[in-house]
């Protein structure tokens, strides 16, 4: 997902220090506004899983997306199809078009209202 200048892998420590923290905290020198200083990288996985559930993505595709192994017989007999993938991509595209400029604080407030 994130690559270095020459398309190589990023070391976690370098990525966190050079990219992640400045993006979250903001960096006036680079012209970056603060996003959300308290956010952790792993929070992205929680958000994505929540979106998969909200968009009613089949469990077998959720497992594949999250890199999890099948846990029971129902998972073993289910398979990801192109129709499932296309529906997921359409749902993610719709989220991007609707919330592409969302603010973390607004999203968090919305989540707390429905929790």
Tens of pLDDT along 4-17? 677 777 777 778 88
Where are the domains positioned within the chain? 1-39, 42-114
* Predicted confidence (pLDDT) at residue 115 exceeds the cutoff of 50: no
Break the chain down into helix, strand, coil percent, rounded to 5: 60, 5, 35
- Which position has the token pair 């017989």? 73
Nearest 10 degrees: Cα torsion 83, 84, 88, 94: 40
Instruction: Indicate the pTM of the whole model.
Output: 0.68
| Gap between the Cα atoms of 63 and 71, Å rounded | 9
DSSP, res 28: G
| Gap between the Cα atoms of 55 and 91, Å rounded | 7
pLDDT 10s digits, 53-94: 999 999 999 999 999 998 888 888 999 999 999 999 999 999
């Amino acid at each position: 997902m994130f690559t270095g200048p020459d398309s190589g892998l990023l070391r976690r420590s370098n990525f966190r220090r050079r990219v992640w923290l400045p993006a979250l905290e903001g960096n006036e020198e680079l012209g970056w506004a603060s996003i959300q200083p308290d956010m952790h990288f792993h929070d992205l996985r929680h958000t994505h899983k929540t979106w998969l559930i909200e968009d009613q993505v089949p469990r077998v595709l959720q497992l594949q997306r999250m890199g999890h192994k099948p846990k029971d017989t129902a998972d073993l007999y289910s398979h990801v199809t192109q129709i499932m993938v296309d529906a997921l991509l359409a749902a993610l595209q719709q989220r991007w078009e609707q919330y592409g400029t969302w603010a973390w604080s607004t999203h968090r407030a919305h989540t707390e209202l429905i929790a």
